[in-house]
Amino acid sequence: MSDFPTIAFSDTAAHAALKGLAASKQWDMRQRFTAESDRFEKFSISSSELLFDYSKNLVDDEVMTQLIASAEQCKLSSAIEAMFTGQHINQTEDRAVMHTALRAKSPSFVDGRDVTPDVQAVLTSMKSYTERVLSGEHLGATGKKLTTVVNIGIGGSDLGPVMVTEALKSFQVGLKPYFVSNVDGADLTYVLADVDPETTLFIVVSKTFTTQETLTNAHAARTWLVEKLGEEAVASHFAAVSTNLDGVKDFGILEANTFGFWSWVGGRYSLWGAVGLSIALSCGWNNFQALLDGANAADEHFRRTSFEKNVPVIMALLGIWYRNYLNFGSYAIIPYSQDLHRFPAYLQQADMESNGKYVDRNGQAVDFETGPVIWGEPGTNGQHAFFQLLHQGTEKIPVDFIAFAKATSPYQDHHDKLLANCLAQSEAMMNGKTEDEVVKEMQAAGVSEASIDQLKAYRTFEGNRPSTTILYKELTPFNIGHMIALYEHKIFVQGVMWNVFSFDQWGVELGKALAKRILPVVKKEKSGDFDASTSALIEKIHQFIDE
């Protein structure tokens, strides 16, 4: 067991002060920007590649001071050190949490042992495999070069790689990536219809190598390949990534094509090692290495920077302020980048599987809210879908706007418009539009006074809706790695302050076990004793199928 702190934000001295501030503050953001000439300088953090602008949030000096005091009183610094030094902070599974070791540049210890040589050994074999596949030294069974990679995995064994390969689409130099995750056979069917068995490599990615969806898809893909090219093709067309090397062997994948990782890497934090093999195969090794370097730079920033200038800490504190003091129930992530279209989905797992917990680290139910609903879509598409609710809905939803100053496409005009829209939305959310402004605007447009009276309320925006803008210089593998790691650490800080165990996921187990019990009944192999609703649904499924 580690000496990880167990103090929730609600047990700190700062809590009462923050409650008082939440109740007493009036947030007129226009007025604040006018009154505080240094507001942007105070509430932004910049480096050569990043401008993190949190000045459009509903905070001021007093709030930030108390939030930082709260983090200190939760003993956040010791929690950070406990993670980086390999203590078993995932106590319900008795494991260290060391995804940072996968991208570390100095020794990282787990149970007193430097794990860097093990990490480097796997990275070296991934690099050599990637180079052999990309150069054509490792060929398919019929002697053709492999041109396509199909990653079969789900959750952390899918979302990280798919999100990053999409994000780095403009850097693709190698295999064309496909992903199969859903146990809905439609997923596999569409991918198999698109790929050529002679030139396709399947990577079965599963930390446990027991996950129903992944094994079902992997067995079906194997059968498909064997039907097309024969049993011996499996050796050159299948690779695996897992901590369960016996499971991989039983499946029939060669040891030489198997890449391991460790129990101290959580599935949703695993894209940095062997789970990222599809990233390396599609983007090439140098880009994969740059991704790790970016994440490592964020690790160093997180570990060594004072809380006032620490980006993940500030991100986490803003989230706590909104969730626990201003009572906002969800948080939107809106990348103004088509390349990042899977980032909100990735973050849903990273954040909600980590902090969607109601039992604290002392085994007691918490009496405050923990992880919010995380959601989002890329801009500008979201503007034409759910932004109405962001601007005029009844609940305030804080937004992270993510943008890159330079375009990845050759269409500069598109990119200028993309950026203008991103900035416009955060400005509109913050400033809104007063009734007075609406009336003047309508009068200037020659609208009748009767129509103005009828319409002005609908056209008024209250504003004071918070957002943070995360602006990178350009979309590079380094910056993508950096950004993902910032969010990983934000999640960690919030878990510490909510006093929950962020690195287990017991909540997903019950449904898995029940599905196993229901399956033979759905297949009509057995009868089962379920609640009336479940029984009726099963009966109806059988009836519909038989009709």
Nearer to ligand F6P, 10 or 214 (CB): 214
By CB under 6 A, the residues from 320 to 379 that bind ligand F6P are 353
Q: Pick from 157, 348, 467, 469 the residue near ligand F6P by CB under 6 A.
A: 157
Residue 541 DSSP label: H
Helix (H, G, I), strand (E, B) or coil at 320: helix
Least Å from the CB of residue 439 to ligand F6P: 54
Stretch that binds ligand F6P, among 202-210, 229-237, 286-294, 357-365 (CB under 6 A): 202-210
505 binds ligand F6P per the rule CB under 6 A: yes
Q: Among 112, 128, 438, 517, which residue's Cα sits nearest to residue 120?
A: 128
- Beta bridge partners, 95, equal 90
Contact 462, 432 (CB under 8 A): yes
Q: Pick from 86, 140, 155, 466 the residue near ligand F6P by CB under 6 A.
A: 155
Q: Which two tokens stand for residue 510?
A: 């019950």
Q: Pick from 207, 342, 465, 482 the residue near ligand F6P by CB under 6 A.
A: 207
- List Cα–Cα distances, 498 to 57, 475, 523, in angstroms: 21, 33, 43
Least Å from the CB of residue 211 to ligand F6P: 3
**Region label for 499, one of left (φ > 0), alpha (ψ between -120 and 50) or beta (otherwise):** left
Choosing from 198, 353, 377, 488, which is the catalytic residue? 353
Angle between helices 61-73 and 76-84 in degrees, nearest 10:
50
502 binds ligand F6P per the rule CB under 6 A: no
Chain centroid to CA 78: 25
Stretch that binds ligand F6P, among 11-19, 133-141, 148-156, 248-256 (CB under 6 A): 148-156
Q: Which two tokens stand for residue 125?
A: 């074999």
247-272 core/surface letters (b: 16 or more CB in 10 A; e: else): bbeebebeeebbbbbbebbbbbbbbb
Stretch that binds ligand F6P, among 78-86, 151-159, 367-375, 424-432 (CB under 6 A): 151-159
Q: Pick from 133, 154, 280, 493 the residue near ligand F6P by CB under 6 A.
A: 154
Nearer to ligand F6P, 40 or 506 (CB): 506
Q: Among 12, 24, 42, 50, which residue's Cα sits nearest to residue 301?
A: 50
Least Å from the CB of residue 92 to ligand F6P: 13
Helix (H, G, I), strand (E, B) or coil at 40: helix
Q: Which two tokens stand for residue 492?
A: 């960690």
Least Å from the CB of residue 99 to ligand F6P: 12
- Beta bridge partners, 373, equal 330
Q: Which two tokens stand for residue 51?
A: 């401008």
Q: Among 300, 340, 298, 327, which residue's Cα sits nearest to residue 315?
A: 298
Number of residues that bind ligand F6P (CB under 6 A): 14
Stretch that binds ligand F6P, among 177-185, 203-211, 227-235, 461-469 (CB under 6 A): 203-211
Nearer to ligand F6P, 211 or 425 (CB): 211
Sequence letter at residue 329: G
Stretch that binds ligand F6P, among 82-90, 117-125, 153-161, 337-345 (CB under 6 A): 153-161
Q: Where are the beta strands (DSSP E) in 138-297?
A: 148-152, 176-180, 200-205, 238-242, 258-260
H-only helix segments in 173-262: 185-194, 212-229, 234-237, 245-251
Nearer to ligand F6P, 130 or 211 (CB): 211
Chain centroid to CA 31: 35
Q: Pick from 140, 156, 174, 432 the residue near ligand F6P by CB under 6 A.
A: 156
By CB under 6 A, the residues from 53 to 92 that bind ligand F6P are none
Nearer to ligand F6P, 165 or 310 (CB): 165
Least Å from the CB of residue 300 to ligand F6P: 26
Nearer to ligand F6P, 150 or 470 (CB): 150
Contact 536, 233 (CB under 8 A): no
Known active-site residue 414: no
Known active-site residue 231: no
Helix (H, G, I), strand (E, B) or coil at 179: strand
Strand 109-110 relative to strand 113-114, pairing: antiparallel
Least Å from the CB of residue 260 to ligand F6P: 13
Any residues with CB less than 8 A from the CB of 89 and at least 6 apart, and which?
Answer: 2, 4, 79, 82, 83, 96, 97, 503
Q: Compute the distance between CA of residue 461 and CA of residue 180 in angstroms, rounded to an integer.
A: 43
Nearer to ligand F6P, 248 or 471 (CB): 248
Q: Compute the distance between CA of residue 348 and CA of residue 372 in angstroms, rounded to an integer.
A: 10
Nearer to ligand F6P, 151 or 464 (CB): 151
Q: Pick from 2, 206, 236, 383 the residue near ligand F6P by CB under 6 A.
A: 206
Choosing from 512, 524, 526, 542, which is the catalytic residue? 512
211 binds ligand F6P per the rule CB under 6 A: yes
Known active-site residue 396: no
Choosing from 227, 384, 523, 525, which is the catalytic residue? 384
Q: Pick from 174, 197, 267, 376 the residue near ligand F6P by CB under 6 A.
A: 267
By CB under 6 A, the residues from 40 to 59 that bind ligand F6P are none
Stretch that binds ligand F6P, among 83-91, 154-162, 193-201, 456-464 (CB under 6 A): 154-162
Q: Which two tokens stand for residue 178?
A: 């496909």
Least Å from the CB of residue 308 to ligand F6P: 34
Q: Compute the distance between CA of residue 518 and CA of residue 372 in angstroms, rounded to an integer.
A: 31
Nearer to ligand F6P, 35 or 508 (CB): 508
Site of interaction with ligand F6P (CB under 6 A): 154-157, 206-208, 211, 214, 267-268, 353, 505, 508
What are the residue numbers of the active site?
A: 353, 384, 512
